[in-house]
């Protein structure tokens, strides 16, 4: 069994007359627009026509490549989704003006031109196309590696200028040289594999990659980047741009490298301290550099371009026809999924889940949302802590997204903001809600069981659920402190009462007299003549006056009516 704890914040208030669930549902802001031709998508930068065509089948699409930042700010409020590349800046003020925006789609990998925090706070999904250009970026890295080792661009320029300078442009071989790869994600792995094909020795540094992963790929992994600096003849960086990686290769790093090392950067501008690199080139510590990205772009006046031993390209890492087509199509698929309320697999501001784990988790997301809503609806007063337990095969997987789903269900309709998988955790954290997760491989009565526990004024609360059959139909199997078995429905009511004869009849009689039909019903109790709980699903909502009529019966402890989204 594993366990972790985190903090978040409870909704400012919980219902407790029983009809509050109904009222909350009525005031709830929609988490997304209905998918239809009235749903508007803005394509702000060029993407593949296949992506545009995919979106036009279901939504109204405007392609506005001429729109500047000022116009974007004025018009963004009309759109439910926007697709951009690297030129458009989605700043906090533009995001604030985006009253109806559901998703920002970045046709490419980097999202440093998007204020992700502002988008997350507002519940806007930020998605990219992380695998669209990995082959292109890896191949460009190898191209720059070869270009600088053999002085290909310089020799080409000399020859075009009418000179034949064979002795001037002698190079170095790659075979048996050591390539240091800093950052061993998807692109770093592809570069390593291709470099090994050139008979290079590869040393890699990435603190988030296991030693067994390095070994599986035939790469020497180091736990300290200094060990890489000591042995590498060439160094290529494949890090994301972040405060932690800005200036990663700095003056101190260059001092630790081998004399005559060569540097490649096809990742992000700013990872290399450009002033420090210039000094290292001047001193001869660095024999050459190949750069596709720069701190400030366009880099037309960058001093590094004045060095003869610097090979440079204008941010071409993803610029292949295949990569551009893939990026446009992938991001169009992600945008369509968001607008239709489906899970967005490439969202970078939703808890990261591997494709394998997501395949297992996805059928349980609706159930977890309902469990989160159910426990706050039946609670007598505010809840300050959730204890979430995953039992069965689920316990072997990354369940963070299921915890987010519980947050979403618990908070939806109880806070001013629209709540979705992007901001549910953030909103919960802002309100100080405490949550503990635990996992156990054993589940006595079910293949998988998810239990959410808390305490209200009356003591411990517990709601539990599972799914049944190949279609994973959700079932509530625990409520309050009782076992039960009932399929969730849009309109549900739960009754706690003394376990005496005639209670089922009383509920049925009052509902029937008010023309309210019971679709399904189940009862749970711990012991005879003790306390019992009844759950019913209904065709229509129960009016407040009918709830009060049932609650006024002396045998009833509580009555809760819930409308599920």
What is the set of active-site residues?
268, 297, 315
Task: Tell me how far apart the alpha carbons of residues 196 and 179 are, in angstroms, rounded to a whole number.
Answer: 9
Residue 156 C-alpha from the chain's centroid: 45
Query: Phi/psi class of residue 515: alpha, beta or left (left: φ > 0; alpha: ψ in -120 to 50)?
Result: left
Measured in residues, the chain has a length of 565
Fill in the DSSP letter of residue 370.
H
Residues linked to residue 529 through DSSP beta bridges, in sequence order: none
Structure-block tokens of residue 458: 């009356």
- The Cβ of residue 213 has, within 10 Å, a number of other Cβ atoms equal to 15
Q: Where are the beta strands (DSSP E) in 396-458?
A: 432-440, 448-456
User: Residues with Cβ < 8 Å from 493, sequence gap 6 or more?
Assistant: 535, 536, 538, 542, 547, 559, 560, 561, 562
Residues linked to residue 436 through DSSP beta bridges, in sequence order: 5, 387
Contact 445, 468 (CB under 8 A): no
Task: Tell me how far apart the alpha carbons of residues 332 and 322 are, in angstroms, rounded to a whole number.
Answer: 16
Please tell me whether residue 173 adopts helix, strand or coil conformation: coil
Task: Tell me how far apart the alpha carbons of residues 182 and 281 are, in angstroms, rounded to a whole number.
Answer: 20
Structure-block tokens of residue 93: 């003020």
Task: Tell me how far apart the alpha carbons of residues 364 and 408 are, in angstroms, rounded to a whole number.
Answer: 13
User: Residues with Cβ < 8 Å from 164, sequence gap 6 or more?
Assistant: none
CA-closest candidate to residue 82, choices 104, 64, 100: 104
What does 340-358 look like in DSSP terms, one character per residue?
TT---TTBTTS----HHHH
Structure-block tokens of residue 66: 């001429």
Q: Where are the beta strands (DSSP E) in 174-313?
A: 178-182, 201-205, 220-222, 234-237, 261-265, 286-291, 310-312
CA-closest candidate to residue 139, choices 191, 202, 93: 191
Task: Tell me how far apart the alpha carbons of residues 550 and 241 are, in angstroms, rounded to a whole number.
Answer: 60
Biggest CA-to-CA distance, the chain: 105
Query: Phi/psi class of residue 493: alpha, beta or left (left: φ > 0; alpha: ψ in -120 to 50)?
Result: beta
Q: Please say whether the dihedral angle defined by the alpha carbons of residues 181, 184, 185 and 189, taken in this order, is positive or negative.
A: positive
CA-closest candidate to residue 119, choices 337, 348, 335: 348
Structure-block tokens of residue 158: 């000399």
CA-closest candidate to residue 71, choices 100, 110, 108, 97: 97
- Whose structure tokens read 């039992």? 391
């Amino acid at each position: 069994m594993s366990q972790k704890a985190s903090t978040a914040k409870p909704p400012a208030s919980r219902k407790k007359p029983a009809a509050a669930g109904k009222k909350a549902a009525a005031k709830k802001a929609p988490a997304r627009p209905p998918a239809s031709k009235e749903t508007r998508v803005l394509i702000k930068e060029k993407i593949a026509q296949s992506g545009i065509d995919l979106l036009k089948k279901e939504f109204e699409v405007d392609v506005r490549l001429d729109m500047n930042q000022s116009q974007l700010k004025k018009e963004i409020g009309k759109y439910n989704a926007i697709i951009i590349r690297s030129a458009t800046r989605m700043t906090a003020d533009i995001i604030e003006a985006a009253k109806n925006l559901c998703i920002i789609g970045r046709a490419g990998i980097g999202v440093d031109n998007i204020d992700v925090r502002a988008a997350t706070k507002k519940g806007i999904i930020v998605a990219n196309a992380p695998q669209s250009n990995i082959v292109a970026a890896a191949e460009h890295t190898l191209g720059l590696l070869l270009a600088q080792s053999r002085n290909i661009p310089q020799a080409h320029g000399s020859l075009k200028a009418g000179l034949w300078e064979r002795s001037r442009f002698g190079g170095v071989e790659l075979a048996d040289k050591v390539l240091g790869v800093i950052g061993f994600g998807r692109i770093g792995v592809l570069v390593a594999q291709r470099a090994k094909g050139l008979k290079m020795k590869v040393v890699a540094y990435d603190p988030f990659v296991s030693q067994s992963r390095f070994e599986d790929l035939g790469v020497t992994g180091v736990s300290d980047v200094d060990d890489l600096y000591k042995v590498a003849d060439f160094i290529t960086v494949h890090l994301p741009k972040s405060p932690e990686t800005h200036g990663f290769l700095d003056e101190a790093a260059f001092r630790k490298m081998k004399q005559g090392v060569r540097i490649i950067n096809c990742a992000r501008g700013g990872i290399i301290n450009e002033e420090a690199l210039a000094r290292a080139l001047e001193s001869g510590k660095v024999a050459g550099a190949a750069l596709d990205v720069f701190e400030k772009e366009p880099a037309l006046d960058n001093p590094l371009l004045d060095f003869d031993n610097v090979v440079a390209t204008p941010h071409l890492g993803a610029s292949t026809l295949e990569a551009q087509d893939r990026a446009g199509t992938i991001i169009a698929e992600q945008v369509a999924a968001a607008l239709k309320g489906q899970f967005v697999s490439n969202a970078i501001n939703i808890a990261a889940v591997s494709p394998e784990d997501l395949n297992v988790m996805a059928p349980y997301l609706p159930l977890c949302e309902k469990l989160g809503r159910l426990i706050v609806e039946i609670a007598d007063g505010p809840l300050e802590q959730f204890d979430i337990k995953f039992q069965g095969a689920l316990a072997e997987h990354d369940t963070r997204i299921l915890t987010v789903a519980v947050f979403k269900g618990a908070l939806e309709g109880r806070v001013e903001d629209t709540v979705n998988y992007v901001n549910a955790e953030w909103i919960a954290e802002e309100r100080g809600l405490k949550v503990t997760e635990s996992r156990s491989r054993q589940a006595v009565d079910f293949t998988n069981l998810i239990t959410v526990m808390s305490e209200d004024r009356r003591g411990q609360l517990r709601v539990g659920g599972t799914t049944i059959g190949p279609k994973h139909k959700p079932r509530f199997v625990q409520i309050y402190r009782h076992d039960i078995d009932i399929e969730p429905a849009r309109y549900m009511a739960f009754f706690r009462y003394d376990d005496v004869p005639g209670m089922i009849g009383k509920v049925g009689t009052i509902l029937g007299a008010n023309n309210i039909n019971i679709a399904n019903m189940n009862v749970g109790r711990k012991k005879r003549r003790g306390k019992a709980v009844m759950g019913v699903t209904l065709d229509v909502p129960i009016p407040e006056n009918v709830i009060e009529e049932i609650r006024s019966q002396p045998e009833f402890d509580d009555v809760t009516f819930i409308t599920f989204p």
